[in-house]
Every structure is written in structure tokens, then in C-alpha cells.
Amino acid sequence: MSNLKNYSRRRFLAQSGLGLIAFAGMPGFLRAMEGMQAMPKLTPNKANPNFKPDVEFDLFCRPGAVSILPGQQTQVQQYAALLKKGPKETLIDIPGSYLGPLIHLQKGQKVRINLHNKLTEPTVAHWHGMHVPANMDGHPMYAIDPGASLVYEFEVLNRAGMNIYHPHPHEATAKQVYHGLAGALFVHDEEEAKLELPGGEFEIPIVIQDRLFDEHNQLIYVRNMHDRMTGFYGDHILVNGRPNFQIDVASRAYRLRVLNGSNARIYKLGWDDGTPITVIGVDGGLLEQPEVRPYVMLAPGERLDVWADFSGRNEGSQLVMRSLPFSGVLPKMAERMGGMMHANSLPVGSDYPIFTARVTKKVSDSPKLPSQLSKINRYQISDTANPDKPVPIGISEGPMAMLLNSRPYAYNDVQDFERIKVNTIQLMEIFHAHGGGGGHGKESAPATGEHGAEKQSGGMGHQGGGMGMMGMMGMGHQGGGMGMMGGMKHGSDDPKGGGSGMGMMMSMAHPIHLHGQQFQIVSRSISADKEADYATVRDGFIESGLKDVVLVMPGEKVRIIKPFQDFKGLFMYHCHNLEHEDMGMMRDFLVE
């Protein structure tokens, strides 16, 4: 057992890039590591003969090769599916794409999915957004070896909406998603059907991803620590696995089902001619009423249901969906260093096209946008089990580690505040625990902040050294406070300023995702010194719908209300910047 522990500790240190120097500098942190357990290996679940599925299909994870750029094919990993039982519309392939088939399920269906691992590494599939039992949720402890199979059985309890299926193996989620393992999973219900929204050819999935290719059209992935700390960014925007994506449309209304399937890239979506975006749904399905916005922010893992009406447009005209300029989502230091470490011709927050809609047919008739879309069961703070004591989700940022609630991911490392009583509604607060503002308003105090880094920008070596040191201070500090809501919350009050200086330098936006049922956003607040950057994104956040990912900007504090109904067991919460997730910016809630 102690060998196992040592192994997992060494492995953690190696993978998170913590060197020997940092090792020596953080006794508290290591003490916490001592109790940590390796991910268990479980016997894969088999089919239950008493479960009578309405829908059953095989889902294969396998290597493949597809044409993405002109010339050589690209080696990828992909999902492929084979329907064994149920309506044939359940599975719809996206021809020529590495993306998995679109899965269409009906609320109330009983579904069996046989996952077959044809890769050369362990994997497991997670149904992001779906409310399923813990042992069907694709927790990394259920990962299966090459050649093995895993059976999922669940009933569709979700309301209509767009969900995601993607791998979730320990420390390898980002890499597998990047190489192609992802797909969209739609749930349909009666409430949606009654609206008669545009369907068939008038309902179009838009899965946005960015990728980086070498000169042989092969995917390039994480090259250095910097790629992990900021998340990995490509310089080609792909939609449904295609560059320069175009759709041909008639002059009528369409329903665009948009998913940000990128590992780290955040988009600010807007039409190029200034037409506002009409949003009818988000992660957890339809809004109650449509919302019209000048632009909409879309972070990794987030979904948007867009009403795109091309009525009245002339044949031959076109409309381009762009990502519009914004600022503040990356650490200022990284923004500057980014240029030196590797040039990306498509900086986050710059202005670039995503896809083009060309009007190729003039028609006179179009469906009308319903003014009332759905009814959402909303909770009040007084409905929560903990109105005065929100469950903390503290974002801890350092140059060598991104964590949640100051602890790296470890199996069975559930803290008291991470135990949740089943069938309760919980108030939760996501905040920047360590430096980075966090709404504590102390940011201007320490001298080791962004300005300090700026002055050093001439010497890379110098910066590197400084980062290591500050990483050490930050980690040791977190370790010491390990107990420890106090330690976390008061990080920015530290008179030494080590923690807050470090946190501030690394402060960036994190798309925080919670497994299980969707949540409501109750309030957002931003620290005064971050308001200028925040103004470039603020109108793009939609709070009226149900969410399972929320983008938390530097200096921002977000309160949410989330139900934990029906199922006991481990449900993860993590950053959906997938590089952060794999670095350990992930924890479990134990619902009991």
C-alpha cells in the first residue's frame, strides 16, 4: 500500500510538473499527499439481465485517420457507434468527421450503451450534463483497459437539451478529447416537441474546436508547462471537425445547436454584421423566454441553442459567426510570455471567423420564434439546505499548479464540506481562493504582482526562476492552511503577500463544471480592479437557464444553487479547461 502511495505521489509530482525544489518547499502539501490513494481499478460493469432497454448501442473508441486539411490524412481517436435496438434516428453520423455520431435520446427511455475500448490506453466515457447514477457517470475509477468493455445502463431523466459525451480517464481526458474523442448527445421531450422548433435539415449542430497541426497535418499537443498552465490552444478553428466551415441556408429560421468542444479556448460569439444573437437555450436545455444579446460567451463544455433567422436575406448574401475581441481571461504574464514561448497566430480574445452561413435559397415562409419556450423549476436560497454556509469551490492558482479548494485531485480524498446529503438543494460559491482578487479587494497591495513580472520580461531565465519560487511559496502556504476554510479565504490577506502576488500573476478565467444535475446561477460579482476586462465579456453571460458549466472570470465570485437528487456516490467537480482538469483541478463530491 505504501508503495502504491509513493508511486501515486511521485506520479502526481512528475505530471504536475512540480520539481524537486518545489518538493522540498511544501511539507504541508506533502502531508496532505500522504493520505492520498491511487485510483482503484474496478471490474467493468456487465449487462443487467433485468434491465430492459428501449435503446441499445455499441460505442467503440478507436484510432482512425480522417482528412481535415488538404493533403495528408490526420491520425485521430474517435467514437463510432452501432445501433442494436431502438429508433434508427438514435444515431446520426457526421460524415467524414472525427467527431462521434450525434446521439438522440428521448426523455424516459431506458438506454444501454456497450463501450468497447479499441485504443491502446485506458479510457471511460462520461455523459456530460446527464443526470445518471454515479456508477454510470464515467468517473475515472471506471476506466477500462484496451480490449475491455463496459456496460452503461440508465434511464433518461434529463429535460430536453444538448449534452456531451467524452472520455474521462485519470490524467488523460484532455489528450483523448483533443485527439478526437467527443460527441453531442441530445435529449428530447414533449415540452420541446410542442414548440415545433426548426428540425431536420433546419437544425444544425455546431461543435467548435481549435487544433494545432504540424507540417504533415498531424495534431500537435502540449509541448511544455506553459501549454498546461494556460490550457492548450490551436490555431485552426474547426466546426464539426472541418476547417472553414460553411452552411448553405434558406432565408428562414434555423436552430443552431452550438457546443464549445475545445480544450481551453473561450469564444465570444457574434454575427459579423452586428445582428444580435437570439439564444433559446443553454447547457441544461431551453430558456423560459428567448434572450437577445449583442454577443454570447462560450467556454469549454458550454452549449448554446441559437435561433438564427435568415428571413428577408437575399440569395447570395452571407453571415459570418465570429469570435469578437475581449480581454482578461488569460494571466497577464502568460499573455506576454505566450508570444515568446510559442507564437499562436490566433490569440485568445482576438477577432476571427468561426463559420459562414450562405443564403442559397429564397423562401417566403419561416417558423416564428415562440415567446414562451419552457418552464424551469427554480429554487430560492431559502430552499437550500445551507442558506448561510455555501459549499466552497475555491479556485487556487499558482504558476505550477491549478487546484480546487487547495487540493489536487485524489481518489477518496473527500473533505467534510465535500460530503453532500442526497436529495438536498445546495447553495455553492465559486471564488478565487488564493490571490487573483476573489472579490476580496486586496489585490493592489503586494509588490510582487503583474508589474513586477512586467519589469522582468526581458529575461526568460529570470522569470522561470521566479515562478518556481513563487510556486513553492504558494503551495507551502496552501498546504499549511490545509484544514482549512480559513487558510483559503484569507489567502489574499497574507501579510507576506506571497500567495496573493503569485495568485494574481496567474489569475485567469476557469470554466467550472459540476457533474450531475444542472444548477441555477444566483449571482455574480466582480472585484473593482477587474471591471475593465469584465466589461468586454459581461453582456455575453446568460444566467436565466440551467447550467452545468460556468465561466468564472479573474476576480469574480459566482453563487449557484444545485440539486443533488436521486443518486448517491461520487460526482466530480472540475475545471473544464481540460489541461487544468488533468493537472488535478478536480475534486469529488460524495453524495450520501
Backbone angles phi, psi at 301, to 5 degrees: 95, -15
| Residue 287 to residue 120: CA distance in whole angstroms | 42
| Residue 261 to residue 242: CA distance in whole angstroms | 13
Cβ proximity to Cu ion, 270 vs 338, nearer residue? 338
Cβ 515 to Cu ion shortest distance, Å: 5
Cβ proximity to ligand C2O, 442 vs 513, nearer residue? 513
| Residue 442 to residue 501: CA distance in whole angstroms | 10
Site membership for ligand C2O, residue 442 (CB under 6 A): no
CB 60 within 8 A of CB 125: no
In one-letter notation, the amino acid at residue 72 is: Q
Q: Of 338, 266, 305, 346, which is closest to residue 129 (Cα–Cα)?
A: 305
Cβ 18 to ligand C2O shortest distance, Å: 23
Site string for Cu ion, 368-407 (x = CB under 5 A): ----------------------------------------
Using CB under 5 A, pick the residue from 117, 507, 517, 577 that binds Cu ion: 577
CB 453 within 8 A of CB 505: yes
Q: Report the 10 Å Cβ neighbour count for 123.
A: 25
Q: Which three cell numbers stand for residue 436?
A: 487573483
CB 130 within 8 A of CB 158: yes
Site string for ligand C2O, 79-118 (x = CB under 6 A): ----------------------------------------
CB 367 within 8 A of CB 253: yes
Size of the site for ligand C2O (CB under 6 A): 11
Site membership for Cu ion, residue 265 (CB under 5 A): no
Site membership for Cu ion, residue 260 (CB under 5 A): no
Q: Which three cell numbers stand for residue 72?
A: 495528408
Q: Which listed option, Cu ion, ligand C2O, none, makes contact with residue 168 (CB within 5 to 8 Å by class)?
A: ligand C2O
Cβ 173 to ligand C2O shortest distance, Å: 7
Q: Report the 10 Å Cβ neighbour count for 251.
A: 20
Report in angstroms the alpha-carbon separations of 176 from 182, 278, 464. 9, 33, 29
Q: Which listed option, Cu ion, ligand C2O, none, makes contact with residue 521 (CB within 5 to 8 Å by class)?
A: none
| Span of 59-67, 125-133, 154-162, 190-198 interacting with Cu ion by CB under 5 A | 125-133
Q: How far does CA 188 lie from the centroid of its chain?
A: 23
Which residue of this chain has its Cβ atom nearest to ligand C2O in the complex?
128
Cβ proximity to ligand C2O, 164 vs 400, nearer residue? 164
Using CB under 6 A, pick the residue from 126, 179, 228, 407 that binds ligand C2O: 126
Q: Which listed option, ligand C2O, Cu ion, none, makes contact with residue 547 (CB within 5 to 8 Å by class)?
A: none
What are the residues whose beta carbons fall under 8 Å from the beta carbon of 487, sequence distance 6 or more? 406, 477, 478, 480, 481
Q: Of 248, 146, 129, 214, which is closest to residue 548 (Cα–Cα)?
A: 129
| Residue 506 to residue 330: CA distance in whole angstroms | 8
The alpha carbons of the chain give a radius of gyration, in whole angstroms, of 23
| Residue 569 to residue 420: CA distance in whole angstroms | 10
Site membership for Cu ion, residue 131 (CB under 5 A): no
Cβ proximity to ligand C2O, 167 vs 471, nearer residue? 167
Q: Which listed option, Cu ion, ligand C2O, none, makes contact with residue 575 (CB within 5 to 8 Å by class)?
A: Cu ion
Report in angstroms the alpha-carbon separations of 165 from 259, 336, 435, 475, 557. 12, 35, 34, 34, 28
Site string for Cu ion, 511-530 (x = CB under 5 A): ----x---------------
Using CB under 5 A, pick the residue from 170, 510, 557, 562 that binds Cu ion: 510
For the chain, give the number of residues.
592
Using CB under 6 A, pick the residue from 322, 332, 574, 580 that binds ligand C2O: 574
In a 13 Å sphere around the CA of 208, the CA atoms on its Cβ side amount to: 31
Cβ proximity to ligand C2O, 322 vs 574, nearer residue? 574
Cβ proximity to ligand C2O, 492 vs 518, nearer residue? 518
Cβ proximity to ligand C2O, 477 vs 515, nearer residue? 515
Q: Of 448, 546, 545, 431, which is closest to residue 488 (Cα–Cα)?
A: 431
Site membership for Cu ion, residue 586 (CB under 5 A): no
Question: What is the pairing mode between strands 183-188 and 102-106?
Answer: parallel
Q: Of 457, 436, 234, 232, which is closest to residue 336 (Cα–Cα)?
A: 457
Site membership for ligand C2O, residue 128 (CB under 6 A): yes
Site membership for Cu ion, residue 16 (CB under 5 A): no
Q: Which listed option, ligand C2O, Cu ion, none, makes contact with residue 265 (CB within 5 to 8 Å by class)?
A: none
Site membership for ligand C2O, residue 526 (CB under 6 A): no
Q: What residues from 277 to 316 belong to the interface with ligand C2O (CB under 6 A)?
A: 301
Site membership for ligand C2O, residue 562 (CB under 6 A): no
Cβ proximity to ligand C2O, 505 vs 575, nearer residue? 575
Q: Which listed option, ligand C2O, Cu ion, none, makes contact with residue 434 (CB within 5 to 8 Å by class)?
A: none
What are the residues whose beta carbons fall under 8 Å from the beta carbon of 25, sequence distance 6 or more? 472, 473, 475, 476
Site membership for ligand C2O, residue 166 (CB under 6 A): yes
Q: How far does CA 403 lie from the centroid of its chain?
A: 15
Site membership for ligand C2O, residue 572 (CB under 6 A): yes
Q: Which listed option, Cu ion, ligand C2O, none, makes contact with residue 407 (CB within 5 to 8 Å by class)?
A: none
Using CB under 6 A, pick the residue from 242, 268, 510, 513 that binds ligand C2O: 513
Return the SS3 of 534: helix
- Alpha-carbon dihedral sign for residues 247, 253, 254, 258: positive
Cβ 339 to ligand C2O shortest distance, Å: 30
Site membership for ligand C2O, residue 168 (CB under 6 A): yes
| Chain position carrying cell 458549466 | 549
Which residue of this chain has its Cβ atom nearest to Cu ion in the complex?
575
| Residue 333 to residue 119: CA distance in whole angstroms | 38
Cβ proximity to Cu ion, 321 vs 575, nearer residue? 575
Where does this chain bind Cu ion (CB under 5 A)?
128, 510, 515, 575, 577, 580
Write out the residues near ligand C2O by the rule CB under 6 A.
126, 128, 164, 166, 168, 301, 513, 515, 572, 574, 576
